[in-house]
Amino acid sequence: MPAASVLSPPILPGRGRARRRRILALEQLALDFGPPRPRWSLSRLVERSPHRGRILERVEFVRRFFPEIEGWTVRVGLAQKRGVLGWGSLDPEKPGIWVRPRRLSYFTIAHELTHLLQARGLVPRGERACDLWALARSPLLNDKPPGYLRVPPVLRRRGRLETRLAKLLCETARGAIAARDAGDRRYLVRFEHAVTASLAAGAGHGG
């Protein structure tokens, strides 16, 4: 008896040749996750403020350097307490920042957005650590000196920080964070000493 071809369809007892199964194409499923979440939720004071456009322009620029908060809706309000330039929520379920529009620097916004990372455990707690991680984001955001880390008075006497100093603060902050990752528990003091030494060296060379 000749061998059956392996390509032949199977013969079922009493039914002759099996019918070929008809393959039906599945309908394409459409997954609708709804509209994207808004990036900002503005308080009534911000909505009514004559500085609304300026506030949004600045917070939007700084947010580009914080990919961790992509997909979050961040509340934006006005800081009204005397002497407070801004503050950020430490409630991970309610991310929000409050700012003063007339004294709104990029660094202040970066500092407050860093508080939102602290709320999620992405950055160590504390105002000095918040300053350090904000400085390390980008020189483009370091338009004013930190408010909690100790830096030479010459930095505080300046208005907007020049590019050279903005880069110095950023690079030194990144070096201090790397030292922390390597186990240095005095990384904040390391940053403060390094900035002071760099400025002193620059002054000695006529910089």
pLDDT digits (tens, 9 = 90+) for 95-149: 999 999 988 999 999 999 999 999 999 999 999 999 999 999 999 999 999 999 9
Asked if 76 contacts 47 with a C-beta cutoff of 8 angstroms, the reply is no
Apex 37 CA angle, 31 and 41, nearest 5? 165
* Non-local CB neighbours of 87 within 8 Å, separated by 6+ positions: 79, 97, 98, 112, 115
Angle at 77 between CA 115 and CA 119, to 5 degrees: 20
Whether the Cβ atoms of residue 46 and residue 79 lie closer than 8 Å to each other: no
Query: How would residue 20 be classed by pLDDT, with cut points 50, 70 and 90?
Result: low
Q: What is the largest CA-CA distance in the chain?
A: 103
